[in-house]
Amino acid sequence: MPHNSDHPKHSAAEGGEWHQRSDKAHPTLTTQQGVPIADDQNSLRAGARGPGLLEDQVLREKLFHFDHERIPERVVHARGVGFHGYFENYKNQSELTKADLFQRPGEQTPVFVRFSTVAGNKGSVDVPRDARGFATKFYTQQGNWDLVGNNIPVFFIQDAMKFPDLVHAVKEAPDRGFPQAQSAHDNFWDFVSLMPESTHMLMWVMSDRAIPRSPRFMEGFGVHSFRFVNARGESHFVKFHWKPKQGLQSVVWNEAVKINGADPDFHRRDMWDAIQRGDYPEWELGVQIFDDAFAEEFEFDILDPTKLIPEEQVPVTPLGKMVLNRVVDNFFAETEQVAFCTQNIVPGMDHSNDPLLQGRNFSYLDTQTKRLGGPNFTHIPINAPKCPMHHFQQDGHMAMTNPGGRANYEPNSWDDNPGPRENPEHGFESYPEKISGTKVRERSPTFADHYSQAWQFYVSQTETEQNHIADAFVFELSKVEREDIRIRMVAHLLNVDDALAGKVADGLGLEALPKAATAAVVPRKDLPVSDALSILKNGPSSFAGRKLGVFVSEGTDAKIFDALKAAAEHEGAVLAVIAPAIGGVTDSSGRKISANEKIDGGPSVLFDAVALLPGDKDIQKLASHSPVRDFICDAFAHCKFIGYNTAAETLLKSAGLADSKDDGCLKIDSKEDSCSRFIERCRDLRYWPREDAVNKV
């Protein structure tokens, strides 16, 4: 990492001609006290790479006001769902950290996890294009540790000073109150196109990472660099990773739009149902471990939250696994009132000087204090530590307990009930990092490369994923009314990949490509491909935990249905029955098959694969029923595996697919292994070769 770089001092203003200083058309920006602001891009810190300073009144006022904008739901991450579980430690990690939960092999630490979208309100849908929150509260024996992460390892901005601006830009416009829970509008793209540092995050958000199939099938990241400290005071940097044991999976955009209409609670329902049936979601917690020497030599600044460290350079070391095995008893008491704060770490951990993390440490505590009515939110059971807690803090709004006895201060000389005392041997200590620097509002020049890792992410994707990214940019920017914003964004993409920029420009109908945006640092095109960045390169090898939708009608062949059900259950998949009526059907043996969904209430977007097993009775009537055709056409368009029996060929013909059947469409019959072969094919989740043909129609 070029700490002694000769790069000139830069700010977020670089990369375009947008940086407007005060003039007759633009009055001077001030604080709420009327104090003129010289720099609204960078927080105050001790040196360009040093920690944030508490005296930064501009940052504190900005974040304080932002944190208090909404009552009572969260300003961001308002739509969420939470579950209980445990973290099981793999082995003694005392050489790495003295954190208590990593000392004893096999020990289980209770956890509570909240998954959330970022931009929407509590009443928004589950599957918008958005980053996802992945916040975990560990109730350790030495206090609560909150790992407040996302399903994307980088972020839009480098400094917490810009967080209110980012959220204001992506939220509904203040003059009209829309659009809600989406980024496809002028304000968002105006802001990010003026902030080149957002480019890397935009690549992730325009990828399928932003439309996960379920929280069960997404990764989680701590985003920032943290420190682990062992009992000898030795420190290593770490980056946290959650790896889903169920494998990665997302949906496609057209599917996401229809899921939100068919079931706006799709994600929370999926998680709830999986836990209730005993199919407990699991993740492995791992860390990338590196020392100060690596931090000095790495191509990018490890304090920059818009950068990641490829796993091929620093592998992820597993520490333990997390299992979510219990739903909440009351949504409000637990999921809504849980309070996560990035500042909540335990002995054996420490923060880094990442300027976004430093601002979050201030902002989260303030937010929770306001949102939950006062400083006593740790008295709420979901937030209370499960280890002993002793302090002299008292009173305040809704205090449940207060210090006992006469002494509510320390030091004191009372003998009968002196109260708790500090413990230098076991108490929390910050890592004694040497800090020096001039008080400045300055962005470190080592943060200046905004495009190289965006290129690395793009070239690490499969061709299918690259096409989805281009399509997402075209869709989002096509909703932007101002052409200059669209052009400005394409100018940034030219610094990422010429082919990508060309596809987006063509999709937007631009008459000519603009000149590439001015880059503070010449983008690199020599970074290696990182397979870990792709979803499709890290998919599951099983159809377990997925959902098969089976359409049946009167006279469905009982033998084929039973064989398919047995094959799905053997795989660990869930089979849902869709029928013309919710009352179900009678199969060929005279048995009643109950339905989980009525055909016009259970579209194929709700399932990972589908099977068409109608009976011969009324087949022509079913073929003319539009919900049946939609069920089939959507499954085909979304590249899902489709199983079908002989009678279903009439339905395929009605849907216009009689001559379009491909290797993702498999005939199911009474042969012994027919259903098993179909389920085995479903392990690939999608038949992606179909996508080009579908898009050409």
Indicate which residues carry an active-site annotation.
77, 150
The DSSP symbol for 412 reads -
**Dist CA 389 CA 399 (whole Å):** 15
Alpha helix segments (H runs only) across 220-301 = 253-262, 266-276, 292-297
**Do residues 117 and 181 touch, judged by C-beta distance below 8 A?**
yes
Alpha helix segments (H runs only) across 350-419 = 355-371
**Dist CA 681 CA 122 (whole Å):** 38
Contacts of 102 (CB under 8 A, 6+ apart): 89, 92, 93, 94, 96, 319, 320, 348
Alpha helix segments (H runs only) across 388-482 = 452-459, 463-478
**Which has the closest alpha carbon to 43: 353, 269, 254?**
353
**Dist CA 393 CA 403 (whole Å):** 7
Beta carbons within 10 angstroms of residue 553's beta carbon:
28
**Do residues 517 and 491 touch, judged by C-beta distance below 8 A?**
yes
Residue 126 token pair:
């589950």
**Which has the closest alpha carbon to 60: 37, 77, 78?**
37
What does each C-alpha distance from 313 to 153, 223, 288, 289, 521 come to in angstroms?
15, 17, 9, 11, 22
Angle, in degrees to the nearest 10, between helices 483-493 and 186-193: 40
**Dist CA 658 CA 638 (whole Å):** 17
SS3 452: helix
Residue 360's Cβ-side half-sphere holds a number of Cα atoms within 13 Å equal to: 25
**Dist CA 256 CA 214 (whole Å):** 11
Residue 264 backbone phi and psi in degrees, to 5: -65, -15
- What is the residue-wise DSSP string for 600-611? TTS-GGGSSEEE
Beta carbons within 10 angstroms of residue 620's beta carbon:
10
**Which has the closest alpha carbon to 462: 531, 522, 397, 565?**
531
Rounded-to-5 percentages of helix, strand, coil across the chain: 30, 20, 50
SS3 497: coil
Size (the chain), residues:
697
Alpha helix segments (H runs only) across 98-140 = none
**Dist CA 195 CA 264 (whole Å):** 32
**Dist CA 585 CA 590 (whole Å):** 9
The DSSP symbol for 173 reads P
Residue 610 token pair:
């589908």
Q: Strands of 118-251 (E only): list them.
A: 132-140, 143-150, 220-221, 226-229, 235-244
**Which has the closest alpha carbon to 545: 565, 567, 571, 564?**
571
- Pairing between β-strand 439-441 and β-strand 44-46 as defined by DSSP bridges: antiparallel
Contacts of 129 (CB under 8 A, 6+ apart): 182, 183, 184, 205, 206, 210, 211, 253, 256, 472, 476
Residue 350 token pair:
């420490």
**Do residues 262 and 301 touch, judged by C-beta distance below 8 A?**
no
